[in-house]
Structure formats: C-alpha cells, structure tokens
C-alpha cells in the first residue's frame, strides 16, 4: 500500500454537528473517487482479514463481517469477549491516519477495520466505550466502497439519526457521544458491493 502515500484528501469541510449528549463531523467527500477506489482495492487485497467469533449462549457465533486490528505493538483491543493483537502499521494505513489526524485533532494509535462483503454483513447496536478508550473517546471512521446506512440511537430518549456513509467519506464522533448513543450498520436487502470501514481510535 506504499504507493498510496502520494494521495491526499480533497475536502476542507470541518463543520461540527452538535446533538444531545454528543457531536460529530461528517465529510462525505474526504477522498475523491479515484483515490477512494484505489484504497478500496488495496485494502481488500493487502489487509490480514479474519472472521472472528463470539460466544453466545454456549455457542461460537461468527461475526457477520470480516475484521482486522492494526496499531502500535503494545495496543491490543478487547470487545465482545475477544482480544485482538495488533498487526503493524502499513504505509497505506499510516497515510490515512495522518490525513484524518489534522481533522480530528487527535493522534491515533490503532485502527479497527471491518469488511462488509455484501448487504448481509452488518454490525448490531453498540457503543465504542470500552475502558481502553477512556472518557469521551474520539472515533474517526473512514469509509470505502458501497454506501451503507449508519444509524445512531440515543440510549435514553430513543432519538434516531441516520447518515449515508459514502465512498471516501469521513465521520468523526466526538464528545459524550459514545456514552449516550448506540450505533449500527444494519443489514440491507439491496444488492450491493463490498464496503470497508476503518475506525481509528486511541487505546489508553
């Protein structure tokens, strides 16, 4: 992925959307289509993908997506009863990380990659509020491939917000959002192609 080092984001939009108990920034065209197409192709072929499983009612249930964890070598990540050990940063992932850090104003040390192979792959309601992430974590989500619905739901009021995550987009979740809002990528019956999502974070 080192050939991607020449690529740079094109959007300067940096408007913060404030909501009850949180805020976010959404930049739909952070990368232009040509750059996003190249990243998608390289991420599919170069990342060490694996289908993890979680224990549910005494059975091992495969996640409905492929995942991979990259980051600093001392930053494992635990969720849903599993612990992921980081692969070392690739040049391409390091370049994406550098691109988004100027927008998020955070130095990230890890990234969780999710690969949604079709509309049947999904992720259910959850928060990114594990103790390793600390209080009010900043989560930066970069998206390549098929457009998918990203849904937020307030844990107390049930208010819902829906964002269409476009190819090459950047979503940054800020403030108290992870402590008050769940989010998901629901399944869809539409015939769609692959989507790769990278969620950059800081493991304390």
Q: Does residue 174 fall inside a structural domain? A: yes
Angstrom CA distances, 78 to 62, 67, 133, stand at 16, 13, 10
Q: Distance of alpha carbon 50 from its chain centroid, rounded?
A: 16
Question: What are 133-179's pLDDT values in tens digits?
Answer: 999 999 999 999 999 999 999 999 999 999 999 999 999 999 999 99
Q: What is the CATH number of the domain that holds 127?
A: 2.60.120.590
Percent residues over pLDDT 90 in the chain: 79
Name the band, by pLDDT with cuts 50, 70 and 90, for residue 5: very low
Burial of 186 (0-12, 13-18, 19+ CB in 10 A): middle
Contact predicate 184/126, CB 8 Å: yes
Q: Quick check: is 192 in a domain?
A: yes
Number of structural domains the chain divides into: 1
Q: What is the mean pLDDT of the chain?
A: 91
**Within a domain: residue 43?**
yes
- Cβ–Cβ < 8 Å for 56, 158: no
**130 domain residue, yes or no:** yes
> Quick check: is 9 in a domain?
no
Q: Which domain holds residue 26?
A: 17-49+60-201
Q: Which of 2-11, 37-46, 106-115, 178-187 has the least mean pLDDT?
A: 2-11
When pLDDT is cut at 50, 70 and 90, the band that residue 58 belongs to is: confident
- Is the pLDDT at 81 greater than 90? The verdict is no
Q: Is residue 7 assigned to a domain?
A: no
């Amino acid at each position: 992925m080192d050939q991607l080092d020449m690529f740079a984001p094109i959007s300067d939009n940096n408007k913060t959307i404030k909501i009850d108990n949180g805020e976010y920034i959404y930049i739909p065209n952070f990368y232009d289509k040509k750059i996003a197409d190249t990243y998608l192709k390289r991420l599919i072929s170069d990342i060490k993908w694996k289908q993890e499983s979680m224990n549910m009612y005494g059975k091992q249930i495969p996640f409905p997506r492929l995942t991979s964890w990259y980051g600093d070598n001392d930053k494992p990540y635990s969720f849903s009863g599993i612990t992921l050990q980081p692969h070392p940063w690739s040049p391409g992932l390091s370049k994406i990380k550098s691109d988004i850090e100027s927008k998020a104003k955070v130095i990230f040390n890890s990234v969780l990659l999710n690969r949604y192979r079709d509309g049947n792959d999904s992720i259910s309601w959850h928060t990114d509020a594990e103790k390793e992430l600390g209080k009010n974590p900043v989560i930066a989500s970069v998206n390549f491939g098929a457009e998918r619905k990203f849904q937020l739901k307030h844990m107390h009021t049930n208010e819902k917000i829906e964002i269409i995550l476009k190819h090459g987009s950047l979503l940054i979740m800020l403030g108290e959002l992870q402590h008050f809002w769940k989010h998901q990528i629901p399944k869809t019956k539409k015939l769609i192609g692959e989507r790769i999502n990278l969620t950059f974070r800081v493991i304390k």
